[in-house]
Amino acid sequence: MLEDQPAGQAAQLASANPAHWPVAPGWQEVAEPFFADAAGQALLQFLLQRLQAGAVIFPPQPLRALQLTPPEAVRVVILGQDPYHGRGQAEGLAFSVAPGVRLPPSLQNIFKELQRDLGVPPPAFPAPGGSLVPWARNGVLLLNTCLTVEEGQAASHAGRGWERLTDAVIRHIAQGPRPVVFMLWGSHAQSKRALIPADRGHLVLCANHPSPLSALRPPLPFIGCGHFGQARAFRQQHGY
């Protein structure tokens, strides 16, 4: 198994072999069937072709969220769309950037709302900076619905098959034995609400995306949404 290392400034995807993308043991029953079926094989072939064509693909470890947060540890799910497409940014966790990387505006707004809601000051820079690895290790599944992207081309790998896997991940958590918090920010994340049963006791929180374009807009502004406080109260209520 590869050692868990943060993405470096020049780190990029080097292989289309899922054997090089470790996941926690509890996720193997979800990931392995996906890569064995036709959709998973088509995705891997696409990634291989793009790599052979010289494409620069991020992040180096597409399944890092599934490596750092085992299913049995998940208490909160935050859904993103696809990884950051700037060099040195994506580190395999939704909204997170590698330590020392300038904070993207959406992440700045996340830290702003966290401070407004719970009084938590922004993390020190450059380390940990915008890296949300501590969140991932504390039960927050930071899941993008598409897990790779090409440099400078947002959503360039959308619709290529990753969504089949990430939908299965959401279903796995949503059907699990423990109520969890789902934070759905923006219309894309909210489109996954249908995967979350209403009778399992989950807390589903919806707001606009934290992007500056929408963070302050009605009807559900991200700034002022209070999701972090609600999530903390829910976790305390359920004893974790």
**DSSP, res 102:** P
**Cα distance between residue 209 and residue 47, in whole Å:** 28
**Cα distance between residue 7 and residue 25, in whole Å:** 22
Non-local (6+) Cβ contacts of 21 within 8 A are 61, 62, 63, 67
Q: Which H or E element spans position 205?
A: strand 203-207
Please confirm, yes or no, whether 82 is among the known catalytic residues: yes
Please give the structure tokens belonging to residue 100: 């020392």
Catalytic residue among 82, 117, 167, 199, which?
82
**DSSP, res 69:** S
Q: Are 85 and 149 in contact (CB under 8 A)?
A: yes
Burial of 186 per CB tally in 10 Å (0-12, 13-18, 19+): buried
**Cα distance between residue 197 and residue 2, in whole Å:** 35
Q: Could you tell me where the DSSP H helices lie in the chain?
A: 28-36, 38-52, 64-68, 105-118, 133-136, 162-174, 187-190, 227-237
Q: Which residues are catalytic?
A: 82
